[in-house]
Structure 1
Amino acid sequence: MAARPPANDDTDDEPTVVTFGIAAVEEFLDGADFSYPVDRQTVVDTTGDPEIPVDTSGRTLALSKALERTEQRRYESRRDLLNALHPVFEDARQSGSGGIVGFVRSLIPSF
């Protein structure tokens, strides 16, 4: 995912796009030199275990921790890796502080 940060009236520059979640993972994978199938440790070693932004508020999750949460040790393709990571980052994003709205949502059971 990606979102534009709040506008800054002090400059005439184009706003910077903040990349987070799976979109941010993809950026790190683009720079990694490994082939599929790949194991979890190779992904971590090759990417340098980056802190991946979870949302626009600046929260992050280490790639190694996210991979551990997938409960997979091996990924057959890039799509397989991203599909495994997607729910992990979505859960991390939704479990954020979220202010009062997040608090109220946490009180309501999901069906």
Structure 2
Amino acid sequence: MAVRPPQQGDDEPESLEFGIAALDPYLSEANLTFPATSDEIVRALGDPAIPYDANDNTVALSEALAAVGQSQFESEREFLDALHPVLEEYRASGGGLFSQLRALLPF
């Protein structure tokens, strides 16, 4: 009978951030002040791919902002509040048929 060796490293599970929470590192490192336009935000953050679900599906910030329907944001909170429903819609849609099939495969 064999016993597994103890795992190395920390015991805390890795967390996966998606949605507006995934933007925190970009916002904290960017030289961005508000009020700001969508174009200024995309330039300052580098148009990152934002994960919108736990399956690691992503959408470009510029694409998500195009769906917001607002181009000027008075504060970071207003920006995040406007972006949240768009990312939730992406999450709810499941990323399309291809993403759903890929999620079912074991590899």
TM-score, normalization by structure 2 = 0.77
Tell me the distance in 2 between the aligned counterparts of 1:92 and 1:50.
16
Aligned pair count reads 91
Higher relative contact order (CA 8 A, sep 6+): 2
Tell me the distance in 2 between the aligned counterparts of 1:79 and 1:62.
20
Tell me the distance in 1 between the aligned counterparts of 2:38 and 2:66.
8
In the other structure, the counterpart of 1:76 is: 74
Identity across aligned pairs (percent)?
42
In the other structure, the counterpart of 1:61 is: 59
In the other structure, the counterpart of 2:24 is: 26
C-alpha RMSD of matched pairs (Å): 2.0
Q: What are structure 2's unaligned runs of at least 5 residues?
A: 1-5, 101-107
Shift of 1:30: 1.4
Q: CA offsets per residue over residues 4-55 of structure 1, 9 Å max, x none?
A: xxxxxx8453211110001012232111111110011111111110000011
From the CA coordinates, give the structure whose radius of gyration is larger. Answer: 2
